[in-house]
């Protein structure tokens, strides 16, 4: 008798076998009656906060673009810092993400998470101290250029040793939990931009100078990541979490029952039924098998990320207000942060909507890819906003309201399409390979950031 599981829908023959398989499916695909309860939804809430922390580092650096521009005033890096930031970040995180796919077998996930968070805490503590160094009185080459090189080195270190390990490891971990828990992490990741933007506005309002702003801002990030480390420690001891961690693809000790379930409803899967596929699985060729299953969704995620990060923050950091005290430097900085906040809020709302409205449907990969291709129209539209300095293109959108609406729609579409691609991809494969799919999708996400840095350099040069 042939039995298949596709996404959340299970089709089986009539009789007792069908009813047993339906118990195995639902949202978790392998849920059993002895599953512990998530009391008071504590794990769900904690995963939301950890989701904020996974992408907080890059969001904090991007939101602090005004600070870095002030520190690099008078250099050729002043107006293109965001492009360099994304380029260095993408190089470090792409290489690390590719390596982390193969490290799943060799390094325990606990060690990966703790090590990466400690690196990030150290980085933000260092940046808070570095903010006290006054580069305004330094010579151009010896002072500000040294600050730029040091900052890029810091970005590479936290992207290679911190962000990539943290994100890929935690996304792989949460992929073995019921569907609402990956959704909680995705919502947290979307809210991270809001957290960074609000933190930037509060820090700038409290400390009117750039030095005090950066000290408060980066110190808050270090404290938040320290809280994440504590939450991870207590989460590991919860019975509900321990129960699901046994189903990790790599490092499980008591998952025999899970594999028995998998064989029952997924016995016709190529990689399980074909001896040659089973052999290549041992040689890591299973990655290419998984890519064939999810490549349309992976490409959609790459395009979505590329368009968003080519605009936010490289282009948005240069847009100036058209009305209301445009010459006030403090107002101008708040205007940039307010636009960031609207984009981040749109991203959060889009991600939340995607958890309930699944359009395009899971089987419409090509439609989702087409929508992300059409979304590239945002690039020329944002170039026509009031961005400065500019040399070639005219300013056609000369009102603040349309620009702020565009920023909101950019974030809204990013959150919606990115979330759909992220939650659809694991459903394309059987549960035992979802940790690897999470790592692969993360790789395409950071590859999109790398492509965005190149597009940003080109876009800003023709503005």
Q: What is the CATH number of the domain that holds 85?
A: 1.20.1250.20
**Spatial CB neighbours of 300, under 8 Å, sequence gap ≥ 6:** 365, 368, 369, 372, 417, 421
438-459 confidence digits (pLDDT tens): 778 888 988 899 899 999 999 9
382-433 confidence digits (pLDDT tens): 999 999 888 889 999 989 999 999 999 999 999 999 989 988 998 898 877 8
Domain contains 307: yes
Instruction: Please tell me the total count of domains within the chain.
Output: 1
Alpha-carbon gap, residue 375 to 303, rounded angstroms: 9
The closest of 330, 334, 320, 305 to 413, measured between CA atoms, is 305
Domain contains 31: no
Residues 433-437 have a mean pLDDT of 78
Does position 308 have pLDDT exceeding 90, yes or no? yes
Domain contains 255: no
| Cβ(441)–Cβ(301) below 8 Å | yes
The closest of 423, 421, 429 to 249, measured between CA atoms, is 429
Domain that holds residue 330: 38-248+269-462
The closest of 134, 460, 430, 455 to 286, measured between CA atoms, is 430
Domain contains 254: no
CB count within 10 Å of CB 132 equals 10
Does position 321 have pLDDT exceeding 80, yes or no? yes
Cα 286 to chain center, whole Å? 24
Domain contains 30: no
Question: What are the residue ranges of helices labelled H in 237-328?
Answer: 239-245, 256-265, 270-273, 275-282, 286-311
Domain contains 225: yes
The model's pTM is 0.81
- Residue 3, helix vs strand vs coil: coil
């Amino acid at each position: 008798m042939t039995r298949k599981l596709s996404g959340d829908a299970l089709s089986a023959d009539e009789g007792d076998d069908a009813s047993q398989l339906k118990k195995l499916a639902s949202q978790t695909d392998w849920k059993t009656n002895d599953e512990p309860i998530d009391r008071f939804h504590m794990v769900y809430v904690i995963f939301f906060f950890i989701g904020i922390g996974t992408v907080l580092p890059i969001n904090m650096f991007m939101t602090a673009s005004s600070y870095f521009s002030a520190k690099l005033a008078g250099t050729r890096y002043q107006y293109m810092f965001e492009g360099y930031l994304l380029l260095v970040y993408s190089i470090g995180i792409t290489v690390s993400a590719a390596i982390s796919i193969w490290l799943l077998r060799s390094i325990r996930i606990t060690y990966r998470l703790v090590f990466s968070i400690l690196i990030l805490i150290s980085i933000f503590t260092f940046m808070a101290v570095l903010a006290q160094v006054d580069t305004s009185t330094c010579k151009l080459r010896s002072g500000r250029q040294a600050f730029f090189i040091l900052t890029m080195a810091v970005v590479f270190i936290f992207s290679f040793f911190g962000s990539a390990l943290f994100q890929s490891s935690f996304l792989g971990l949460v992929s073995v939990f019921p569907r609402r828990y990956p959704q909680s992490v995705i919502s947290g990741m979307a809210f991270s931009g809001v957290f960074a933007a609000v933190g930037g506005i509060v820090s700038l309002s409290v400390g009117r100078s750039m030095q005090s702003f950066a000290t408060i801002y980066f110190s808050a990030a270090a404290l938040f990541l320290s809280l994440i480390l504590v939450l991870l420690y207590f989460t590991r001891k919860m019975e509900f979490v321990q129960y699901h961690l046994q189903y990790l693809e790599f490092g499980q000790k008591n998952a025999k029952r899970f594999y028995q379930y998998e064989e029952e409803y997924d016995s016709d899967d190529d990689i399980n039924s074909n001896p040659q596929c089973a052999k290549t699985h041992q040689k890591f060729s299973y990655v290419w098998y998984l890519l064939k299953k999810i490549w349309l969704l992976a490409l959609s995620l790459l395009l979505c990320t590329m368009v968003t990060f080519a605009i936010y923050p490289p282009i948005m950091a240069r847009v100036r207000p058209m009305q209301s005290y445009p010459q006030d430097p403090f107002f101008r900085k708040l205007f940039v942060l307010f636009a960031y906040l609207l984009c981040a809020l749109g991203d959060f709302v889009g991600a939340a909507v995607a958890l309930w409205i699944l359009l395009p449907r899971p089987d419409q990969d090509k439609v989702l890819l087409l929508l992300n291709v059409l979304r590239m129209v945002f690039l020329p539209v944002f170039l026509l906003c009031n961005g400065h300095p500019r040399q070639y293109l005219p300013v056609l959108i000369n009102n603040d309201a349309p620009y702020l609406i565009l920023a909101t729609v950019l974030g809204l579409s990013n959150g919606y399409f990115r979330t759909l691609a992220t939650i659809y991809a694991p459903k394309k494969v059987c549960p035992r390979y979802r940790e690897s799919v999470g790592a692969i999708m993360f790789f395409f996400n950071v590859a999109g950031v790398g492509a965005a840095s190149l597009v940003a350099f080109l876009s800003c040069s023709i503005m």
